[in-house]
Amino acid sequence: MAQSLPDLSVVIPARNAAHVLPATLAALGGAPAEVIVADCGSADGTAIVAAEHGARIVPAPEGRGVQLAAGAAAAEGAWLLFLHADTRLGPGWEAAVARFLAAPGAEGLAGYFRFRLDDDSPAARRLERAVAWRCRRLALPYGDQGLLIHRRLLARIGGVPELPLMEDVTLVRRLGRARLRPIEADAVTSAEAFRRDGYLRRSARNLALLGLWFLGVPPRLLARLY
């Protein structure tokens, strides 16, 4: 039986995610106290799929940061886990999260999972190693690794930035290296976009967008480029 996490609310922003949500929600099982899908008016039945899997639907304007903020505001748990719609947590995630929550000073920390892709190609393994290096050296996990945070800490750093893009980078930058901790479980993300666009091309584009963000280009413009 999966470990129960009664203080945990999972918040998933979704847009036309009916094809990926079932696996994401099934991987959560019955461990979290609640699962919230913040839907921005999807046209593919995302809300229906979410409801069929026991999630609560929270309508929100389009934009991942706005959707996360709406979901967090509606959540009842003391702990929030932000998770992408195409990212499913790997086996043992419940126990890993329970250990994180039980650690001394956990309420002042935020956790993220190991990045994995659902692709057996060498290119996928190379990207996973690059992400591990980025997290280790730059303390810069992305949203597809999830973010586990106590709502009081989230409030102290200004809440979820209501941005259409780079809300994840903004959050971890506000947290800083000292408050970020890895969680010893996998977050397995769909590699569909990498297979479609090519690993090198998509990785280069993502890196270029990050560089533009650091140079001060507005996130709304970056979202159009994305």
The 3-state DSSP class for residue 121 equals: coil
Would you state the pLDDT for residue 99?
A: 96
Residue 141 is which amino acid?
P
Determine how β-strand 147-150 pairs with β-strand 79-82.
antiparallel
Residue of 189, 188, 190 whose CA lies nearest to 92: 188
Instruction: Indicate the burial class of 178 (C-beta count within 10 angstroms; 0-12, 13-18, 19 or more).
Output: exposed
Q: What contacts 13, CB < 8 A, 6 or more positions away?
A: 37, 38, 40, 60, 64, 67, 68, 71, 84, 85
Would you state the pLDDT for residue 209?
A: 86
Would you state the pLDDT for residue 78?
A: 97
Would you state the pLDDT for residue 20?
A: 95
Would you state the pLDDT for residue 2?
A: 63
Would you state the pLDDT for residue 93?
A: 97
Q: Which domains does the chain have, with CATH numbers?
A: 5-197 (3.90.550.10)
Would you state the pLDDT for residue 202?
A: 92
Q: How much is the pTM? A: 0.94
Q: How far apart are CA 141 and CA 165, in angstroms?
A: 15
Greatest extent of the chain over all pairs of C-alpha atoms, in Å: 48
CB-based contact 127:203 (threshold 8 Å): yes
Would you state the pLDDT for residue 219?
A: 77
Would you state the pLDDT for residue 223?
A: 77
pLDDT in tens for each of the 226 residues of the chain? 567 899 999 999 999 999 999 999 999 998 899 999 999 999 999 999 999 999 999 999 999 999 999 999 999 999 999 999 999 999 999 999 999 999 999 999 999 999 999 999 999 999 999 999 999 999 999 999 999 999 999 999 999 999 888 899 999 999 999 999 999 999 999 999 999 999 999 999 888 888 888 888 887 787 777 7
Would you state the pLDDT for residue 69?
A: 97
